[in-house]
């Protein structure tokens, strides 16, 4: 069956709710009957409009979960790991073993990444007691993590590791598109993964699933969360 491209990330989020209804109607029914038992996290920037569409349909609250790659000093477009909003670190050990980086260089790169995250938190006005915030919204709840797609899946694994620290009841991942290899990698780490467009391809690009692809600017993220009925601002703390 031919896949029709998403018109927008927001629409992709809406379609994800329909997909969940079709493949796990019991879960969809439970979400609608017990919205307070669920909470969502959007990985910015592209995951924010997806999550807004998703949460608008399901009437669920959400927050942003910043994940930044730990950059390789001599190739800053690439990374050997990720750091999440609360400082949780995930290292790509097989890759790191090939890079011949000193322990000091690794630590410096992690430090720079933590600094970037703090700057992002300030930008999004999220300078709060994160430990208490996450315990409040994650502990014993069913958590959805959303992005506009998976590539390698490493960013999502870092997000999953962070969520697991705060004793979520169940962890779900909902993404509009992903390659089969990444789905297999992530699926084994969570309770259930939802993806309407799984691609069995060697070369994969998230952009191929969208008819109007562009890099979401931070100005758009701010506009969405500032006008959202479901975004969890620091004032909710």
What is the reported pLDDT for 236? 53
Q: Indicate the burial class of 50 (C-beta count within 10 angstroms; 0-12, 13-18, 19 or more).
A: buried
For the chain (length 237 residues), average pLDDT per consecutive 10?
Answer: 84 98 97 97 96 98 93 82 89 88 91 91 84 93 97 91 96 97 95 96 92 94 96 63
Q: Which helix (H) or strand (E) holds 22?
A: helix 9-23
DSSP state of 176: S
What is the reported pLDDT for 233? 67
What is the reported pLDDT for 235? 45
CA dihedral (221, 223, 229, 235) in degrees, to 10, reads 80
What is the reported pLDDT for 76? 76
What is the reported pLDDT for 234? 47
d(CA 80, CA 203): 21
What is the 3 state secondary structure string of 207-220? HHHECCCCCCCHHH
Tell me which residue has tokens 């699933």: 209
Question: pTM for the whole thing?
Answer: 0.92
Strands 67-72 and 62-64: unpaired
Domains of the chain: 9-63+128-227 (3.40.50.2020), 68-123 (3.30.1310)
Tell me which residue has tokens 């690439």: 78
What is the reported pLDDT for 57? 97
What is the reported pLDDT for 9? 97
Q: Indicate the burial class of 172 (C-beta count within 10 angstroms; 0-12, 13-18, 19 or more).
A: buried
DSSP state of 236: G
Kindly report the number of other CB atoms within 10 A of residue 190's CB atom. 19
Region label for 153, one of left (φ > 0), alpha (ψ between -120 and 50) or beta (otherwise): left
What is the reported pLDDT for 92? 86
What is the reported pLDDT for 78? 76
Strands 75-84 and 89-91: antiparallel
What is the reported pLDDT for 183? 96
């Amino acid at each position: 069956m031919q896949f029709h491209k998403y018109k927008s990330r927001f629409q992709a989020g809406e379609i994800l709710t329909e997909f969940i209804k079709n493949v796990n109607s019991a879960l969809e029914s439970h979400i609608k009957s017990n919205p307070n038992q669920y909470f969502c996290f959007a990985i910015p920037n592209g995951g924010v409009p997806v999550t807004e569409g998703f949460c608008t349909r399901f009437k669920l609250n959400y927050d942003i979960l910043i994940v930044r790659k730990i950059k390789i000093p001599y190739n800053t477009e690439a990374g050997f790991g990720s750091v999440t909003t609360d400082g949780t670190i995930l290292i790509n050990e097989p890759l790191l073993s090939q890079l011949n980086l000193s322990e000091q260089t690794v630590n410096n790169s992690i430090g720079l990444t933590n600094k970037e995250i703090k700057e992002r938190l300030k930008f999004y006005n999220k300078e709060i007691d994160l430990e208490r915030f996450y315990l409040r919204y994650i502990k014993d709840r069913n958590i959805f993590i959303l992005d506009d797609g998976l590539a390698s899946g490493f960013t999502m694994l870092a997000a999953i590791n962070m969520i697991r620290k705060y004793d979520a009841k169940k962890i779900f991942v909902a993404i509009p598109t992903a390659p089969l290899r990444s789905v297999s990698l992530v699926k084994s780490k969570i309770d259930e993964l939802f993806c309407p467009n799984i691609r069995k391809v060697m070369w994969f690009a998230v952009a191929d699933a969208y008819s109007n692809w562009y890099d979401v600017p931070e100005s758009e993220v701010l506009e969405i969360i500032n006008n959202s009925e479901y975004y969890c601002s620091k004032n909710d703390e």
